[in-house]
Amino acid sequence: METIHIRANTVDSSQIEAIKAFLKALKIKFELKKDSESPYESDFVEMIKKGDQQIAEGKGIKMSSKDFKALCKLS
């Protein structure tokens, strides 16, 4: 099974219903998401939030872009 993402800019709900009917006719499983929903996986969002919280608590480190570039060259 392969998952693809399609963004459809519809004018009204009848177009959404037509798309759903088409996918059902082809026996393709689908799920609808509104634009207000995050495009990111929930695990990823939680990891970012945890990092933001750690920085707010002073657990992060400060690094200049020069130091960061040097660190990247070590890999």
Average pLDDT (26-33) is 90
Quote the distance between the C-alpha of residue 43 and its chain's center. 10
Instruction: Please tell me the number of Cα atoms within 13 Å of 36 on its side-chain side.
Output: 0
Give the residue extent of every domain in the chain.
Answer: 13-74
H, E, C per residue of 5-64: CCCCCCCCHHHHHHHHHHHHHCCCCCCCCCCCCCCCCHHHHHHHHHHHHHHHCCCCCCCC
DSSP state of 2: -
Q: Is the pTM of this model over 0.75?
A: no
The token pair at 19 is: 């798309």
pLDDT, greater one: 43 or 25: 25
